[in-house]
Amino acid sequence: MVARYPDCSMRPVAVIGLGKTPFGAFPDRDLRSLAVEAGSKCLENGQVKASQVEAFYLGNFAGPAFVGQNHLAPYIGQGLGFDGIPATRFEAACASGGTAFFHAWAAVAAGIYDLVLVTGVEKMTSQTTPRVAEILASAGDVAGEMKAGATFPALFAMIARRHMHDFGTRREDLAAVAVKNHANGARNPYAHMRKVITIQQALAGKPVADPLTVYDCSLVSDGAAAVLLAPLERAAEFTSKPVRIAAVAQTSDRFALDQKDDITTFPAVRRAAEQAYKMAGVGPRDIEFAELHDCFTIAEIVALEDLGFAPRGQGGRYTSEGCTLPSGPLPVNASGGLKAKGHPVGATGVGQICDLALQIRGEAGEMQLPRHELGLAENLGGSGASAVVTILRAA
């Protein structure tokens, strides 16, 4: 809708505050304490009091299944000190955080609210690994794929195999994604896994679903992230380093793999990217760095192609040639990505926005990139049924 019409009368919007918890396994933390920590840090960073916030949007995939708590937005909002304001939870599988961010942007851009807090959170490690896999699989086709025994590692393994068959993508190309993201994550003090690995280690990893090994799969994590949005015209009231939301677009696509014409591409990502590029008035070559949804290594490779960064079928080669390294022409997942930073599902999309904003502000520490004024985030839900693409730039 809005994203297709960059000349419509929407207010420019800025990120004026951000906050994160580390991502990892925290047996002594509950879901609300994680969300409240990230949200409180964000309010402090944006120099805004809880009483000034006009709406609270929460990205969360499966809090009821993971921790047994429903009605999560007011539950967390109360912990943040909110009283009487709208508090709404958004669920779009792994794109829940990006979806909450999209709707918060739309509300501020439309003039409905001036100050909106967006928080993403997930507490996943409270369940056993088989139960976590079952909960995650519910983001797919329960009556079809899940009934047949498919989990997301199996689905993305099929995507990887088909990509290999159609385009000659190699196991070494998948491993190159893992090696690069682990090296990046080792420089991120908030990352779940700060462990450098080699190509040989990645190739020899424990098999999960052929051709994917444990090094091709993102981590089961706990964590939260938050951003505070305001009209760009008011941003200077709160921060000297506002980050402009140049574009954000949310789209959807067919739900199950067997419903897709081609499983080596995600049409929702392509459509969201087209809308976001049009809205921002830029193209793929203008983007200086990106945070991409590498739930599996093949997902980063496909995203490179769908976003226009690499030619169709060449995302693997593009990675293996070093193009996505911090020193390459398009640094991808300088944070470590989902692969090393961690993947607390509801927090992932908001965490990507935080990492873009930190780069643009020049506050990314050891992760800081030399070119950091225009960044893109891609947040994927399920096996491509939901997608959110966001472009941020220096204000």
φ, ψ for residue 228, nearest 5 deg:
-115, 130
Q: Report residue 50 as tokens.
A: 């809880």
Q: Reduce the DSSP state of residue 213 to 3 states and report it.
A: strand
Distance separating alpha carbons of residues 367 and 97, to the nearest angstrom: 22
Q: Reduce the DSSP state of residue 19 to 3 states and report it.
A: strand
60 and 23 Cβ atoms separated by less than 8 Å: no
Q: Report residue 157 as tokens.
A: 């393994």
Distance between alpha carbon 304 and the CA centroid of its chain, in Å?
Answer: 15
DSSP 206: P
Alpha helices in the chain (DSSP H): 31-45, 63-67, 72-79, 96-109, 129-137, 152-167, 171-185, 199-203, 267-280, 297-306, 315-320, 337-340, 345-361
- Rounded to the nearest 10°, the torsion over CA 35, 41, 42, 44 is 140
Measure CA of the first residue to CA of the last residue in the chain; give whole Å. Answer: 24
Asked about 94 being catalytic, the answer comes back as: yes
Give the residue from 294, 284, 271 showing the smallest Cα distance to 343.
294
Please give the order of strands across the beta sheet that includes 289-291: 87-90, 55-59, 116-123, 222-231, 13-20, 243-252, 386-394, 374-381, 289-291
Q: Report residue 341 as tokens.
A: 């930073």
CB atoms within 10 A of CB 107: 20
Helices (H) and strands (E) in the chain, counts: 13, 11
For residue 305, which amino acid is it? E
Catalytic residue selected from 192, 293, 343, 372: 343
Size (the chain), residues: 395
Distance between alpha carbon 13 and the CA centroid of its chain, in Å?
Answer: 20
150 and 137 Cβ atoms separated by less than 8 Å: yes
Q: Could you tell me if residue 61 is left (phi over 0), alpha (psi between -120 and 50 degrees) or otherwise beta?
A: alpha
Kindly list the catalytic residues. 94, 343
